[in-house]
C-alpha cells in the first residue's frame, strides 16, 4: 500500500466511489478503453456499496495510470502517488522540493489551480465567495498566503472539486461533503462558480491521455485529505 494513500481507508464509501468512477469512466460516462479496475473480480463484488474493500485496487489503478505502460508491465505495477503528484506539478510548473510533505505539495497544486481560476471569475462571483474581497488581486493574495484549512480556501476548494466531478460526469459528485448532499450547502456548490473553478485544471495544455485521469484524481484526493481531518461542523461553518 502506498503510504501517502493509506488515509483512503478512512474515507467514506461515497468519497471512494468518486475516485473509482474517475478512474473507470470518462466525461461522457463511458468506460475508459485502458482502464482495468472494472474488470477485477473485487470490483464486481464490492462496487458500489463496499468500496473500502477495494482500496488497494483503486490505488494500484491510479499508480498504473501515473506510470509508463511499458515500465508498468516490466515491474508489475505503476509509480507511487508522490511521483504522480510531482509529475503533475512539473506539468503545471509548480515549484516544490524533496523536503516538502505530501500535504504541502498537494497544497501547492490546489493553490495554483484556485489562483488560475480567479481570472475567469466575475466580481459578482468573488462577492458570492466573500463580500469582504474587493478585487481579483486581493483574492489571489489570500489564496497564496492563507492556510488550506481556512474557510475561504476550503470553500473554494470544495466548489472546485464539485465542479471537476460534475465535468467528469461522476454520478456521486453531490456526495463530496457527506450529509450536505441535499441541503443548503449543496445548492451553493451547484452554482456557476463551481463550474468555473472546476475547469481550472483544463486551462493547461497537458501532455498525454493519462493526465486526464490522474489530475482530477489527485485534486480530489488532496481535497479529501483536507476535509477528512475536519469535523462536519467545521466543514459546514466554512461553507456558509
Residue where the block lists cell 489551480 = 113
When pLDDT is averaged across residues 47-64 and rounded to a whole number, the result is 97
Per-residue pLDDT at 182: 46
Per-residue pLDDT at 181: 47
Range scoring the smallest mean pLDDT among 51-65, 125-139, 220-234: 220-234
Per-residue pLDDT at 178: 55
Per-residue pLDDT at 192: 75
When pLDDT is averaged across residues 44-51 and rounded to a whole number, the result is 97
Determine the 3-state secondary structure of 132 from DSSP: coil
Q: Which is higher by pLDDT, 207 or 198?
A: 198
Residue where the block lists cell 476548494 = 157
Sequence-distant (6+) residues with CB within 8 A of 8 are: 16, 19, 55, 58, 59, 221, 224
Report percent pLDDT > 70 for the chain: 90
Whether residue 60 is predicted with pLDDT greater than 90 in this model: the reply is yes
Whether residue 34 is predicted with pLDDT greater than 50 in this model: the reply is yes
Q: Buried b vs exposed e over 101-110: b needs ≥16 C-beta within 10 Å?
A: ebeebbbbbb
Sequence-distant (6+) residues with CB within 8 A of 118 are: 126, 136, 139, 140, 143
When pLDDT is averaged across residues 50-63 and rounded to a whole number, the result is 98
Per-residue pLDDT at 229: 83
Which tens digits make up the pLDDT trace of 134-170? 999 999 999 999 999 898 898 899 889 988 988 898 8
Per-residue pLDDT at 225: 96
Tell me which residue of 62, 69, 100 sits closest to 218, measured CA to CA: 62
Whether residue 30 is predicted with pLDDT greater than 60 in this model: the reply is yes
Which tens digits make up the pLDDT trace of 72-113? 788 888 999 999 999 999 999 999 999 999 999 999 999 999
Which tens digits make up the pLDDT trace of 208-223? 789 999 999 999 999 9
Angle at the Cα of 108 from the Cα atoms of 112 and 19, rounded to 5 degrees:
90
Query: In Å, how far are 11, 126, 138, 168 from 202, measured between CA atoms?
Result: 26, 21, 24, 11
Mean pLDDT rounded to a whole number for the chain? 89
Q: CB count, 10 Å around CB of 140?
A: 17
Q: Buried b vs exposed e over 48-84: b needs ≥16 C-beta within 10 Å?
A: eeebeebbebbbbbbbbbbbeeeebeeeeebbbbbeb
Tell me how far apart the alpha carbons of residues 185 and 180 are, in angstroms, rounded to a whole number: 6
The residues facing 53 across adjacent strands are: none
pTM over 0.85: yes
Polymer length in residues for the chain:
240
Amino acid at each position: 500500500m502506498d503510504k501517502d494513500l493509506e488515509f483512503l481507508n478512512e474515507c467514506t464509501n461515497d468519497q471512494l466511489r468518486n475516485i473509482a468512477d474517475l478512474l473507470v469512466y470518462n466525461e461522457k460516462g463511458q468506460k475508459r478503453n485502458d482502464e482495468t479496475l472494472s474488470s477485477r473480480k473485487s470490483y464486481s463484488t464490492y462496487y458500489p456499496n463496499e468500496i473500502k474493500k477495494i482500496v488497494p485496487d483503486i490505488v494500484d489503478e491510479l499508480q498504473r495510470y501515473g506510470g509508463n505502460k511499458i515500465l508498468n508491465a516490466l515491474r508489475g505495477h505503476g509509480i507511487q502517488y508522490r511521483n504522480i503528484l510531482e509529475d503533475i506539478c512539473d506539468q503545471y510548473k509548480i515549484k516544490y522540493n524533496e523536503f516538502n510533505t505530501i500535504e504541502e505539495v498537494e497544497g501547492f497544486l490546489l493553490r495554483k489551480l484556485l489562483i488560475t481560476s480567479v481570472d475567469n471569475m466575475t466580481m459578482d462571483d468573488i462577492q458570492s465567495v466573500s463580500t469582504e474581497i474587493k478585487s481579483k488581486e486581493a483574492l489571489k493574495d489570500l489564496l497564496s498566503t492563507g492556510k488550506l484549512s481556512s474557510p475561504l480556501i476550503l470553500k473554494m476548494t470544495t466548489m472546485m472539486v464539485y465542479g471537476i466531478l460534475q465535468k467528469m460526469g461522476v454520478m456521486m459528485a453531490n456526495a463530496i461533503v457527506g450529509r450536505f448532499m441535499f441541503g443548503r450547502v449543496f445548492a451553493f456548490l451547484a452554482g456557476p462558480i463551481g463550474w468555473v473553478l472546476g475547469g481550472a485544471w483544463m486551462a493547461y495544455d497537458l501532455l498525454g491521455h493519462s493526465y486526464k485521469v490522474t489530475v482530477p484524481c489527485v485534486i480530489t484526493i488532496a481535497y479529501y485529505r483536507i476535509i477528512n481531518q475536519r469535523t462536519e461542523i467545521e466543514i459546514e461553518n466554512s461553507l456558509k
